[in-house]
Amino acid sequence: MDNAQLSLTSEDIISRNNVRVTGQGKRTIVLAHGFGCDQNMWRFMWPALEKHFKVVVFDYVGSGKSRLFSYDKKRYQALDGYAQDVIEVCDTLGLEDVIFVGHSVSSIIGMIASQLRPELFSKLVMVCPSPCFLNLGSEYSGGFDKEDLEELINLMDKNYIGWANYLAPLVMGQSHSEELINELSGSFCSTDPKYSKPFAQATFFSDYRSILSKELHPCLILQSANDSLAAVDVGEYMKEQIPNATFEIIDGTGHCLHMTEPDKVLQSMYSFLNIPV
């Protein structure tokens, strides 16, 4: 049964996804965090964006300070479930024509949402995106083999502090009580296996290349010059597949350009969105 999501009021969704709205602009920008951490990833960018836009940030269910008792194993086993979170947040706030900015896997989540509900979105900005992290023979090189990603799941387990909370209910033969699962460890990046493993699986074992060519909104693809997760080649591949895409390489290192190079990311976004600097 999946009643957890069906009877949610607007207030429920705001608190379920820990939605935060700031800024005064006429246009709305939605910032969606990627796998691993939460909305705080955007902290270096949102003060600047608030001057131009109404800024919406949120946590996917299972991340950050989302309401964990809304977590539904089935819903969040594929990226479509996370896309549903995006759609419900937009609907709840009565948003239309939003500029969606997604980091990493959220770029794909945004794309799924924008194809399900095109009217909600006007443009997509993708920071270090990849439609598929897997190497698939000679036709596509996502950068990782299945074994690498299995090792990742194992590594996440080994870095999880909170075993007692996790194991106790199993030993006691009861499901997680609400108090126990109400909050993640408190840090903004959590490896709690109950939530992060399905997200990792949905992120790293999926192949969403087929939706690229169906994306009709204008897209800005920002790739890092040196990113071990999403290579420049992957960005170029996306540019070729998406009908209306602008592709830029940001001179930076790593997968978190919005944290390490926020000014460069902002500049590219402003030019794509025709915002005078």
Partner 1 sequence: MLNKFSCGLFTSDIKNGDIEYTNDYVCDVLDYSKGSLIGLKLNLLFSKASLIFLESYLYPMLLKEHEMFEIQLTVLNTKHERIPITANVKIQDDKLYWSIFTAINRDKLYQELLDIRDQLEQQAEILELKATTDSLTSLLNRRAAIFESEKLINQAYRTGSSLSFVMVDIDYFKRINDELGHQKGDEVLVDVGKVLHEVFRKTDVIARWGGEEFMIVLYDTPFDDAQALCQRLHQNLNSIITLNKPLTVSIGVAVCNFGSGKSTDLMSVLAEADRMLYKAKNNGRNRTEMTCYIK
Size of the site for partner 1 (CB under 8 A): 50
C-alpha to C-alpha distance for 209 and 252, rounded to whole angstroms? 25
Indicate which residue of 33, 52, 217, 255 is catalytic. 255
Among 184, 229, 231, 242, binds partner 1 (CB under 8 A): 229
CB 221 within 8 A of CB 235: yes
- Residue 217 annotated to the active site: no
C-alpha to C-alpha distance for 59 and 65, rounded to whole angstroms? 7
DSSP notation for 222-244: EEEEE-SSS-HHHHHHHHHHSTT
Among 54, 75, 209, 255, binds partner 1 (CB under 8 A): 255
CB closer to partner 1, 27 vs 91: 91
From the number of C-beta atoms within 10 Å of its C-beta (0-12, 13-18, 19+), residue 53 rates as: buried
Tell me the closest approach of the beta carbon of residue 4 to partner 1, in angstroms. Answer: 9
Give the rounded distance of the alpha carbon of 204 from its chain centre.
13
> According to the binding rule CB under 8 A, does residue 15 interact with partner 1?
no
Contact stretch for partner 1 (CB under 8 A) within 23-31, 40-48, 77-85, 112-120: 40-48
**Contacts (CB under 8 A) with partner 1, residues 137-176:** 143-145, 148-152, 154-159, 163, 166-167, 170-171, 173, 175
Q: Which of 120, 97, 119, 126 is nearest to 25 (CA)?
A: 97
The pattern of x and - marking residues 51 through 70 that bind partner 1 according to CB under 8 A reads --------------------
Residue 75: left (phi > 0), alpha (psi -120 to 50), or beta? alpha
Among 259, 270, 271, 275, binds partner 1 (CB under 8 A): 259
> According to the binding rule CB under 8 A, does residue 10 interact with partner 1?
no
Where do runs of H (alpha helix) occur along the chain?
Answer: 10-16, 46-49, 79-92, 105-116, 146-158, 163-172, 178-181, 193-204, 232-241, 257-260, 262-272
> According to the binding rule CB under 8 A, does residue 254 interact with partner 1?
yes
Tell me the closest approach of the beta carbon of residue 5 to partner 1, in angstroms. Answer: 10
C-alpha to C-alpha distance for 85 and 5, rounded to whole angstroms? 10
CB closer to partner 1, 43 vs 214: 43
The residues annotated as belonging to the active site are: 104, 227, 255
Task: List residues binding partner 1 (CB under 8 A).
Answer: 1-3, 6-7, 9, 34-37, 40-41, 43, 143-145, 148-152, 154-159, 163, 166-167, 170-171, 173, 175, 187-189, 191, 204, 226-229, 252-256, 259-260
